[in-house]
Amino acid sequence: MMEAREYIESGILELYVFGILSDTETEEVSAMAEKYPEIKAEILSIEKAVISLSFSMSPYLSAANYDRIRTQLLAKHGVEEGVVEMKPRSNVALFIGWAAAIVLMIGVGYQYTQLDAVKEEVVVVKAENSDLEKELNSLEIDKQKTESVLAIIRDDNNTVVALGGQAVSPESKAKVYWNKETQAVYIDAAGLPEPPEGMVYQVWALKLNPLTPTSIGLLEDFKANEARLFNVNSTGEAEAFGITLEPAGGSVSPTLEQLYTLGKV
């Protein structure tokens, strides 16, 4: 199950949906989707988000508005539907003028109502378009971040250090991606539990003889970082890496009783 969660959080599913993976990688994702229902569900979720960006709607103007307004205006003037009161010939001009006024009122009322409806629809569509634009921008930013992180992780110059769980949390694990050329260090903390309120994970680069820990960063905003991938400070010739749980803001030296993961280079 952890394999599927790590696979989802790696960012490869977004690249799969965007169609920018190699044939080999595409086949790998398809195989994983068949093996893990949660991966297939995540792919469908991403596809729905992308499809929603092309959704648009047009204002629908009901023809029933005309009959409703017409009936109300005629009733206001005491004229029943389908009934025309006959007047003496001398009042024909008056009747024609009255009828023309009724028709004009109907037309003006109808146009006003339709204009008001259109304005409301325009406001709704603008708001929806704004939301869609924000979602598109967010997806583009996430895509760029994912591509950047994947490029770093897949760099052949990286030294990958696996950190195993310790006594306080045997099930915990993490990975360190250390590029000795650029000195970039990334921590994959997907295997760590969410820290308690007021606590933060702190990463240490260790010299083993004598044991000398050096803090290289905090895994802050842990909950907000869905990918659980953190960039920390560069390090020198580290011989091991460890992650401890410390009070918010970090500690000067590691609290060994709260050592969650440890691994040698």
Q: Given pLDDT bands bounded at 50, 70 and 90, which one contains residue 47?
A: confident
Q: Averaged over 61-89, what is the pLDDT?
A: 45
Closest C-alpha among 231, 144, 214 to residue 179? 231
95 vs 9: which has the higher pLDDT: 9
Helix (H) or strand (E) holding 200: strand 199-208
CA–CA gap between residue 247 and residue 22 (Å, rounded): 44
pLDDT score of 107: 65
What is the spatial distance between Cα 125 and Cα 59, in angstroms, rounded to a whole number? Answer: 9
Whether 43 shows a pLDDT value over 50: the answer reads yes
> Rounded to whole angstroms, how far apart are CA atoms 217 and 233?
6
Q: Where are the beta strands (DSSP E) in 64-152?
A: none
pLDDT given for residue 58 in this prediction: 38
C-alpha angle 97-99-105 in degrees, rounded to nearest 5? 100
Residue 242 has pLDDT above 50, yes or no: yes
pLDDT in tens, 106-118: 666 667 677 778 8
Domain 158-264, what architecture? Sandwich (2.60)
Q: What does the block give as tokens for 57?
A: 């709607």
Average pLDDT rounded to a whole number, residues 27-31: 91
Query: Cα(245)–Cα(237) distance, rounded to whole angstroms?
Result: 23
Is 0.75 surpassed by the pTM of this model?
no
Return contacts of 108-116, CB within 8 angstroms, 24+ apart.
109/69, 109/73, 110/65, 110/66, 110/69, 113/65, 113/69, 114/61, 114/65
Angle at which helices 64-76 and 92-153 pack, to 10 degrees?
A: 150
Mean pLDDT of the chain: 79
Q: Is residue 99 pLDDT above 70, yes or no?
A: no
d(CA 140, CA 146): 10
Measured over the CA atoms of residue 254, residue 256, residue 258 and residue 261, the dihedral's sign is: positive
What is the C-alpha to C-alpha distance for residues 230 and 219, in angstroms, rounded to an integer? 6
**144-203 per-position pLDDT tens digit:** 766 766 776 777 788 999 999 999 999 999 999 998 888 889 999 999 999 999 999 999
Q: Are 11 and 46 in contact (CB under 8 A)?
A: no
User: 47 or 255: which carries more pLDDT confidence?
Assistant: 255
What's the pLDDT score for residue 106? 65
Look up tokens 């009747």; give the residue.
Answer: 95
pLDDT, position 61: 39
